[in-house]
Homo-oligomer: A and B are copies of this chain.
Amino acid sequence: MTVLVVGSVALDSVETPFGKVENVLGGSAIYSSLAASLYTQVNLVGVVGGDFSKEHICMLQDRGVDTRGLQVVEEGRTFRWSGRYDYDLNVTETIETQLNVFADFHPDLPRGFERSDLVFLANIDPDLQYEVLSQVKGARLTMMDTMNYWIQGKRESLLRTIKAIDVLTINEAEARMLAGTGSLLTAAKEILRLGPKALIIKKGEYGAAIFADSFYFVAPAYPLEEVRDPTGAGDTFAGGFMGYLDRAGNTTNAAFNKAIVHGTILASFTVEDFSIERLRQVTMAQVESRYQEFKRFTHFEID
């Protein structure tokens, strides 16, 4: 059982009302790999520059992540992102994006990676996502993330990739933008017509919902008193979701439901601290404990 994760590896600088960090480990592929690695074997594909600390790579390997697909461009610099959040942590303000080595990135799967059971294509250029899909063989489930930038700027490429994957995961605003409608349920129906078997809509502090043909499930977020940094929550969610599904060994609706809850719980750890500080220390016992709590505070009986 393996999950292939393709996405960005970044050095982030983030400021929130609760603190500030500079050049810390980040990127969609990092958050989702770490989350998934709690459940299963992860094959990571991405790119970094010569400035990327070897310690980060060792940390990933300690988690059992296969880093052979992490290209190191010695003469280049790692992708950098800096952003800020105000008290409304649902709104991200990007201060600067430096693509650096990411500008010329082409995902190249090391031998064996093409046979990964599950594939998660984090938010990168939809043409690159499509390149990966063309390389993988016999995956049980493929999932992709995307963002407003591609929805507006590369719609045709994006639609081609969406048509080719099993699950699309985006946030509420992106779903409305992609479908061109205000009603989230109508948007979900429109998006399912584009080809994916299922759509996951991430709602930040309100949780996440999954839509498929005659199937719907919604989970709230795990309630937290202190959210220090929301960066990486969506990618952590995706990693937890895919990791759980891979370990479960099936993709029934019941497994999807549980995977959504696992993704939501993993994300609740990520946002409790900056960068991957909390996520890297989470144990499965802590995840299970929140899962039990989650069951208690969402369960109700039929009369």
Q: Which residues of A contact B (CB under 8 A)?
A: 87, 182-186, 189, 203, 205-207, 209, 216-220, 223-227, 254, 257-258, 260-261, 288, 291-292, 295, 297-303
A216 to B223, CA, bound (A): 9
| Contact yes or no, B298 A217, CB < 8 A | yes
| Contact yes or no, B183 A207, CB < 8 A | no
A301 to B244, CA, bound (A): 14
Known: A206-B203, A206-B206, A258-B303. A218 touches B298 (CB 8 A): yes
Chain B residues lying within 8 Å of A217, measured Cβ to Cβ, are 297-298, 300
Known: A206-B206, A258-B303. A223 touches B218 (CB 8 A): yes
How many copies make up the complex?
2
Known: A183-B225, A220-B220, A225-B183. A254 touches B301 (CB 8 A): yes
Known: A182-B87, A206-B203, A206-B206. A300 touches B223 (CB 8 A): no
12 CB < 8 A contacts A-B: A183-B226, A184-B205, A206-B220, A216-B297, A217-B298, A218-B297, A218-B298, A220-B220, A257-B299, A257-B300, A295-B300, A298-B298
Chain B residues lying within 8 Å of A205, measured Cβ to Cβ, are 184
| Contact yes or no, B186 A225, CB < 8 A | yes
A227 to B300, CA, bound (A): 26
How close is A279's CB to chain B, nearest CB, in angstroms? 20
A226 to B104, CA, bound (A): 44
- Of chain B, the residue at the smallest CB distance from A254 is B301
How close is A290's CB to chain B, nearest CB, in angstroms? 12
How close is A184's CB to chain B, nearest CB, in angstroms? 8
| Contact yes or no, A302 B292, CB < 8 A | yes
- Of chain B, the residue at the smallest CB distance from A299 is B257
A174 to B218, CA, bound (A): 25
Known: A258-B300, A300-B217. A227 touches B291 (CB 8 A): no
Chain B residues lying within 8 Å of A219, measured Cβ to Cβ, are 220, 298, 300
Chain B residues lying within 8 Å of A183, measured Cβ to Cβ, are 224-227
| Contact yes or no, B220 A207, CB < 8 A | yes
- Of chain B, the residue at the smallest CB distance from A248 is B303
Chain B residues lying within 8 Å of A209, measured Cβ to Cβ, are 220, 223
- Contacts A257-B299, A257-B301 given; 10 further ones with Cβ under 8 A? A185-B224, A186-B226, A206-B206, A206-B220, A216-B297, A217-B300, A219-B300, A260-B300, A291-B302, A298-B300
Chain B residues lying within 8 Å of A301, measured Cβ to Cβ, are 254, 257-258
Among the listed B185, B225, B260, B295, which residue makes an inter-chain contact with A225, where contact means beta carbons less than 8 Å apart? B185
A87 to B218, CA, bound (A): 23
How close is A229's CB to chain B, nearest CB, in angstroms? 14
How close is A76's CB to chain B, nearest CB, in angstroms? 40
How close is A91's CB to chain B, nearest CB, in angstroms? 13
How close is A220's CB to chain B, nearest CB, in angstroms? 5
| Contact yes or no, A300 B87, CB < 8 A | no
